[in-house]
């Protein structure tokens, strides 16, 4: 960023926070026409349109939940005012804290003033701006953006962030067009300015992610899987930051990033369009050299006005996403130029190349049969699990390569690294001449350089399949879970298009606030959920025996002890329902495997199970909101699974077999055989006969005979009903797994 862009951010923070910290932090009204204050005036006005949700009875009100209005919800929930760094549990919206905590207001006022006072306006450094934005995010994520007489579901941080982005884009646009009279251009002619296509909404999407992550064949599959997933997260953030740096903007312009996809707000200039086109070409050229046709990035852009960003004309906002999506689809259909195709087909497979034992690509491998990329990931895999900081450097090192001539290395703070030979973040920043930037994982670093804080789903109890399987209850197996938010694309594009209010609340500010809350859930809160397990088929393990391979944007992929994965899937679903106030749902697929089963196959098979959940119920318009266990026949709504499969039928099996220990596994498997083949009437008769033989012979044992009668009546009733029969089959599977102690078969 140049000095003016940095001053714009500083001034925008002061302007938006002025009602809280005092007018002395903003400039005087006596300003010339070329003052950037006119840009900030206009940017704040654009951001503030439709900011308030309703009138307040008086007093300072807490931040309303952004989910109150989503998908025609009529919610009345609020967030507790708190700093992000102080969080010890999930900040769920509820109806109680409608009046803002004044003590927190005083803390925000004091700490924000202190942060602003430390900034030297005449000598602003990039680090000053990053540090200030970190402070604003920490303090103001759950602080409302309006101050008296109204209520809002937009945080002051979200307002500041978008105001900075819009103001920076305006300045770049004016500079490109030789406009210096900002008062005339943006202030006096505000209405006409808002109709001009000043902005460029840009989206990037990476193809080949699934194959890149899951196509691995190795005894170190789990560690490699997590490393490749994290590498892709850093890769995307690295490309995003390269875009922002080349066009002279800050991360305020990043609207959303997750799932190898992003949205960025840019100025609509030829220079910017050329820059992003060049970056796409550079990245895809690097992909060809590094991974062949395995990865590809496509971008789509839509020129837009402030009116379109605020949806002032019907469907103008949603049309931006249609335009970007079409361009991305067009590029994916025609990925490569003639020269690219020649490069792909003429890659040198000279003597001495062999197949990498992890990724199976043909390359020059080392003595351990690893290609250079897999070797570099293995070297850093333990650090990926444990290091808090990751630096990007142009200095050639034995670390994973990144586009634009960069490398990735893990760093630790001074105390953690002392005596262990690990590189410290201070050393990387001050002594590495090729240092580019630093990312922190779920923590903030402010020192010689301020790290870009990334929320990362990083929970792990172990990184070895065998140990996860051994931690299971009953049979020693692992489970693989893939889950995805239902209809999230619709929520982003049209979720605030309400029957009652029309498109009043449909705009980029609310989309940005929604996407950030979802990122907080899937990249931060999920770590808390797995560390504080609740639901269990048998006994609850508070700290789940599991590892998050990937969690971000809207989807989750994780592996763990089979019963813990089923339990945490319910925990995540229940927490998400509470977090989003029942406005969004999750569908999942869970497969159960031996710890030696190829992870690439389990990933593909679990994807099929997830797809079955997305089609639930079959034969009609799917409501989704389901889980599929074992195979495609085991699909249930989450309520059905908890209430009918686990709490009713599995519990009945537990009670019966714990009370009457005269029946072995053969009896259970005979029941299962007849249930599976119940379409043949003779098998129902055999089923009834088998139940009759179960009756305790001792007529004096009244309690056991009562338990038997209740159980046999239920089982007979259940086989006659398709829904009950299906649920009972799944419950028998679960019971058999829970009671087959230590076995892997």
- Give how far Cα 730 sits from Cα of 231, 384, 633, 645, Å: 37, 37, 9, 7
Per DSSP (E only), the strands in 261-317 are 261-267, 296-304
Q: Give the residue, 217 or 479, on which the prediction is more confident.
A: 479
Average pLDDT over residues 613-625: 82
CB under 8 Å to 494, separation ≥6 — which residues? 318, 506
How many residues would you count in the chain?
A: 745
DSSP secondary structure string, 46-85?
A: HHHTT-EEEE-SSSPBPPBPGGGSGGG-----BPPP--GG
Average pLDDT over residues 714-731: 90
Which of 572, 355, 353, 345 shows the shortest CA–CA distance to 481? Answer: 572
3-class DSSP string for 334-383: CCCCHHHHHHHHCCCCCCCCEECCCCCCEECCCCCCCCHHHHHHHHHHHH
- Nearest-angstrom CA–CA distance, 258 and 236: 9
pTM, entire model: 0.91
Note the pLDDT of residue 62.
93
Note the pLDDT of residue 211.
81
Which of 594, 599, 525, 603 shows the shortest CA–CA distance to 557? Answer: 603
Q: Percentage of residues in the chain with pLDDT exceeding 70?
A: 92
Determine contact, residues 526/459, Cβ cutoff 8 Å.
yes
Average pLDDT over residues 429-457: 80
Average pLDDT over residues 178-207: 94
Dihedrals φ, ψ of 250, to 5°? -100, 180
Alpha-carbon Rg for the chain in angstroms: 29
Q: Percentage of residues in the chain with pLDDT exceeding 90?
A: 54
* Range scoring the smallest mean pLDDT among 197-206, 286-295, 399-408: 286-295
Which tens digit of pLDDT belongs to each residue from 654-680?
A: 888 887 666 667 777 888 888 888 777
Which tens digit of pLDDT belongs to each residue from 531-544?
A: 999 999 987 668 99
Q: Give the residue, 94 or 707, on which the prediction is more confident.
A: 94
Dihedrals φ, ψ of 345, to 5°? -90, -10
Given a cut of 60, is residue 350 above it in pLDDT?
no
Note the pLDDT of residue 355.
76
Note the pLDDT of residue 217.
60
Dihedrals φ, ψ of 188, to 5°? -70, -35
Note the pLDDT of residue 378.
82
DSSP secondary structure string, 95-137?
A: SS--B--HHHHHHHHHHHHHHHHT--GGG--HHHHHHHHHHHH
Determine contact, residues 122/3, Cβ cutoff 8 Å.
no
Which tens digit of pLDDT belongs to each residue from 247-287?
A: 999 999 999 998 889 999 999 999 999 999 999 999 999 99
CB atoms within 10 A of CB 647: 11
* Range scoring the smallest mean pLDDT among 72-81, 281-290, 350-359, 386-395: 350-359
* Range scoring the smallest mean pLDDT among 63-67, 241-245, 283-287, 696-700: 696-700
Which tens digit of pLDDT belongs to each residue from 632-655?
A: 999 999 999 999 999 999 999 888
Q: Using the structure block, give the residue that is written with the tokens 């979200």.
A: 158
Structure tokens at 318: 């949603």
Note the pLDDT of residue 119.
86
DSSP secondary structure string, 581-612?
A: TTS--EEEEEEEE-TTS-HHHHHHHHHHHHHH
* Range scoring the smallest mean pLDDT among 392-396, 397-401, 473-477, 532-536: 397-401
Average pLDDT over residues 344-353: 62
Note the pLDDT of residue 619.
61
Which tens digit of pLDDT belongs to each residue from 78-89?
A: 999 999 888 889
Mean residue pLDDT of the chain comes to: 88
Q: How confident is the model at residue 341 (pLDDT cuts 50, 70, 90)?
A: confident
- Helices 702-719 and 681-692 pack at an angle, to 10 degrees, of 170
Note the pLDDT of residue 53.
87
CB atoms within 10 A of CB 633: 12
Note the pLDDT of residue 672.
81
Q: Give the residue, 107 or 682, on which the prediction is more confident.
A: 107
Q: Which is it for strands 435-441 and 452-454: parallel, antiparallel or unpaired?
A: parallel
- Nearest-angstrom CA–CA distance, 480 and 628: 12
Average pLDDT over residues 130-137: 90
Structure tokens at 510: 């609310």
Given a cut of 80, is residue 33 above it in pLDDT?
no
Given a cut of 70, is residue 693 above it in pLDDT?
yes
Q: Give the residue, 517 or 126, on which the prediction is more confident.
A: 517
Q: How confident is the model at residue 560 (pLDDT cuts 50, 70, 90)?
A: very high
User: Before 527, cis peptide (omega within 30)?
Assistant: no
């Amino acid at each position: 960023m140049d000095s003016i862009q940095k001053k714009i951010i500083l001034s925008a923070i002061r302007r938006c926070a002025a009602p809280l910290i005092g007018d002395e932090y903003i400039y005087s009204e006596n300003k010339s026409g070329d003052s950037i204050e006119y840009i900030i005036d206009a940017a704040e006005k654009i951001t503030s349109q439709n900011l308030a949700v309703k009138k307040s009875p008086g007093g300072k009100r807490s931040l309303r939940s952004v989910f109150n209005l989503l998908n025609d919800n009529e919610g009345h929930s609020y967030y507790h005012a708190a700093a992000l760094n102080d969080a010890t549990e999930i900040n769920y919206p509820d109806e109680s804290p409608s009046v803002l905590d004044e003590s927190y207001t005083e803390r925000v006022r004091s700490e924000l003033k202190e942060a602003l006072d430390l900034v030297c306006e005449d000598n602003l450094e990039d680090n000053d701006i990053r540090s200030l934005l970190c402070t604003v995010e920490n303090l103001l994520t759950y602080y409302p953006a309006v101050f008296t007489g109204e209520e809002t579901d937009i945080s002051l941080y979200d307002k500041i962030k978008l105001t900075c982005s819009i103001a920076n884009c305006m300045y770049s646009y004016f500079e490109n067009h030789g406009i210096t009279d900002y008062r005339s251009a943006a202030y006096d002619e505000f209405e006409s300015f808002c109709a001009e296509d000043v902005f460029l909404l840009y989206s990037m999407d990476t193809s080949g992610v699934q194959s890149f992550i899951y196509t691995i064949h190795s005894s170190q599959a789990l560690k490699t899987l997590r490393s490749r997933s994290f590498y892709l997260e850093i890769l995307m953030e690295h490309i995003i930051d390269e875009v922002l740096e080349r066009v002279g903007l800050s991360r305020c312009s990043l609207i959303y990033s997750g799932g190898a996809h992003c949205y960025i707000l840019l100025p609509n200039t030829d220079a910017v369009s050329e820059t992003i086109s060049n970056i796409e070409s550079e990245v895809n050229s690097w992909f060809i050299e590094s991974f062949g046709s395995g990865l590809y990035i496509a971008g789509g852009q839509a020129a837009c006005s402030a009116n379109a960003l605020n949806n002032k004309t019907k469907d103008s906002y949603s049309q931006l996403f249609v335009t970007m999506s079409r361009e991305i689809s067009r590029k994916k259909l025609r990925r490569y130029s003639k020269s690219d195709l020649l490069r792909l087909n003429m890659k040198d497979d000279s003597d001495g190349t062999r197949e990498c034992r992890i990724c199976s690509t043909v390359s020059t491998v080392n003595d351990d049969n690893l290609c250079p990329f897999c070797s570099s990931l293995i070297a850093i895999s333990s650090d990926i699990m444990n290091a808090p900081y990751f630096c990007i450097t142009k200095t050639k090192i034995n670390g994973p390569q990144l586009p634009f001539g960069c490398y990735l290395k893990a760093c630790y703070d001074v105390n953690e690294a002392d005596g262990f030979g690990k590189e410290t973040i201070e050393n990387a920043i001050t002594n590495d001449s090729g240092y580019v930037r630093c990312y922190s994982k779920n923590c903030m670093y402010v020192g010689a350089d301020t790290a870009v804080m990334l929320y990362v789903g990083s929970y792990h109890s172990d990184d070895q399949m065998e140990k996860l399987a051994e931690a299971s209850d009953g049979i020693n197996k692992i489970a693989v879970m893939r889950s995805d938010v239902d209809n999230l694309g619709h929520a982003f594009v049209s979720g605030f298009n309400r029957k009652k209010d029309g498109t009043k609340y449909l705009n980029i500010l609310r989309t940005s606030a929604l996407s950030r809350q979802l990122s907080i859930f899937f990249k931060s809160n999920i770590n808390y959920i797995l560390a504080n397990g609740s639901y269990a088929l048998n006994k609850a393990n508070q700290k789940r025996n599991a590892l998050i391979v990937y969690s971000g944007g809207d989807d989750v992929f994780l592996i763990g002890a089979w019963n813990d994965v089923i339990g945490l899937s319910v925990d995540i679903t229940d927490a998400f329902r509470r977090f989003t106030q029942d406005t969004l749902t999750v569908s999942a697929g869970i497969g159960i495997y031996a710890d030696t089963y190829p992870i690439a196959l389990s990933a593909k098979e679990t994807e099929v199970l997830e797809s079955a959940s997305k089609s639930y119920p079959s034969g009609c318009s799917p409501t989704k909101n389901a889980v599929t266990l074992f195979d495609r026949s085991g699909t249930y709504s989450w309520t059905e699974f908890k209430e009918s499969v686990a709490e009713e039928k599995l519990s009945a099996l537990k009670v019966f077999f714990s009370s009457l220990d005269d029946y072995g596994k053969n009896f259970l498997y005979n029941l299962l055989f007849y249930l599976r083949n119940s379409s043949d009437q003779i098998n129902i008769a055999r089923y009834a006969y088998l139940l009759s033989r179960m009756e305790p012979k001792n007529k004096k044992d009244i309690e056991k005979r009562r338990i038997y009668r209740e159980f046999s009546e239920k089982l007979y009733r259940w086989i006659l009903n398709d829904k009950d029969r299906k649920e009972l089959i799944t419950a028998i599977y679960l019971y058999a797994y829970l009671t087959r102690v230590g076995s892997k078969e």
